[in-house]
Amino acid sequence: MDGTGPVGRADRHPGDTYEDILERDSRPVPDYLRQGRIPDVGVQPVLASRYTSKEFFELEARYVWSKVWQMACREEDIPNPGDYHIYEILAKSLIVTRTADGGIKAYYNTCLHRGRKLVTLNGCKSEFRCPYHGIAWNTDGTLKDNPIGWDFPQWDGQDMSLPEAKVDTWGGFVFINFDPNAKPLAHFIKPLADHFEKFDWQNRYRSMWIQKKVRCNWKALTEAFMESHHSITTHPQILPGLADANSQYDILNDWVSRQFSAGGVPSPFLGQIPEQEIVDYMTGMAGSRRGRPMAGGPERAILPEGETARRFVADMTRQGLTAETGVDHDDASDAELLDALLYNLFPHMSFWAGHASKLTYRWRPNGLDPNSGIMDIMMHAPIPKGAPRPPPAPVTELDFDEPLSSIEGQQGSGLAAVFDQDFSNLPHVQTGLLASGNGVVHFSKYTEMRIRHLHHMIDRLIAEGQAATTALPV
Ligand SMILES: [Fe+2]
């Protein structure tokens, strides 16, 4: 390609496309990185009340959150029988636990007697005994003990096991689904699972976990991480090393969408900048952005004559990663080493693809509040060859007004700065939506196609749920 992009296309940024950038890379480009399906999702405005109204929030609770697979924890959070991890969404609470046979179950975290939550902290137990009256369940969910069992004749001969949600796994993650008739997770996640197979997420560990409360609807929070062009104004410091407005977007199936932004290439908004400047940016920022030190150390890396910054930095990353993990990365493509390759699984998860340590996001409503949400920011790192699995990082919880830069060790980090910039917009998005004069939001046609699709899927599940509810019995 000549670097001028798709001649005559008025519906894309006029500069290089993501595929144009890949054509100049040092390794063959894996097919899965090519532009995928672009369904016509229209250009209709979307009602601002979808982010603010209690009624719409309740529709989502009833018809969306009750039907979808949701990431609950990592398998490494519950390695041994009796280990359990509490997953909460809306007002629901599940005990996700490892059973004696090595399986995983998710029990509703409610005593079947008077309704007290059985557990309120993660841990390991040989039984789930209610702290109120002492009725207990085995870790396989069956009723174990009732101190006044003689006074519950109505339980005689009944199955008083704890009710369960469905459980499935992918890539070392445990997922739950409240719908007893849900199809297996693989049905939904397939394109993502296929593309991630080479990155062996089963053998990664959680190296970082930050949980942040934000004063905005869960969708506004999610959508802040579903396009790259907000970098122009929200993250101007990253423009030397991120091709933002010419990112690639597609929707692989109804449940999986993705966006790719090239690294080691400047934003088209900067125009042409010296390649050495890009190298300086990438080597200065990369340690914090990717959660691991770059090869080359503190000394300035000088771009060899005739080489591009992207190829040069990719090679440094390739060598660094080989040394760090003990796994030869010589065949790794430049894109899989440098680029922001974000896959979303509807409705509330995003997984970054690539060989190095990679981010994972999860978004949820904050309890039953339409006007606030919770974002989990996790990093998952490859386990070095032959090394034991490190313990998963515990969560660091941040309240509404606590920035990532307040966390010990994150002061001055480029990663914390980027997230804090994102979170600085969002309370003003929510109050702006509440203040809207025309009551609608406009998404762009291509760049924000994934966000519009998120809304289409929510509408579809609400419509399907309402149709099922109102259907006459036959
Ligand atoms: Fe951002």
All residue ranges of the chain with pLDDT < 50 are 1-8, 285-296
The segment(s) of the chain belonging to CATH 2.102.10.10 are 70-181
CA of 374 to the centre of ligand 1 (A): 16
CA of 65 to the centre of ligand 1 (A): 25
CA of 226 to the centre of ligand 1 (A): 9
CA of 28 to the centre of ligand 1 (A): 29
Q: How far is CA 100 from CA 83, 129, 138, 161, 374, in A?
A: 10, 17, 10, 16, 32
CA of 365 to the centre of ligand 1 (A): 19
CA of 447 to the centre of ligand 1 (A): 14
Other CB atoms closer than 10 Å to residue 146's CB: what's the count? 18
CA of 243 to the centre of ligand 1 (A): 13
Let me know: does 170 contact 186? Beta carbons within 8 Å: yes
Q: How far is CA 192 from CA 160, 284, 342, in A?
A: 38, 31, 10
CATH superfamily of 70-181: Rieske [2Fe-2S] iron-sulphur domain (2.102.10.10)
The segment(s) of the chain belonging to CATH 3.90.380.10 are 24-43+186-275+325-457
Distance CA 18, CA 247 (A): 6
Indicate the SS3 state at residue 30. Answer: coil
Contacts of 274 (CB under 8 A, 6+ apart): none
What do you get for the CA distance between the two ends of the chain, in Å? 61
CA of 336 to the centre of ligand 1 (A): 20
CA of 308 to the centre of ligand 1 (A): 26
CA of 337 to the centre of ligand 1 (A): 20
CA of 122 to the centre of ligand 1 (A): 31
pLDDT at 292: 38
Q: Class of 24-43+186-275+325-457 per CATH?
A: alpha beta
Place of tokens 């990112």: 247
CA of 423 to the centre of ligand 1 (A): 8
pLDDT at 10: 77
CA of 418 to the centre of ligand 1 (A): 6
CA of 157 to the centre of ligand 1 (A): 56
CA of 360 to the centre of ligand 1 (A): 14
Query: How is residue 166 written in tokens?
Result: 């469905």
Let me know: does 199 contact 383? Beta carbons within 8 Å: no
Distance CA 344, CA 346 (A): 6
pLDDT at 12: 85
Indicate the SS3 state at residue 359. Answer: strand
pLDDT at 364: 98
pLDDT at 330: 97
Query: How is residue 278 written in tokens?
Result: 């890009």
The candidate with the shortest Cα–Cα distance to 282, out of 374, 414, 191, 447, is: 414
Q: How far is CA 219 from CA 89, 125, 420, 452, in A?
A: 14, 36, 18, 11
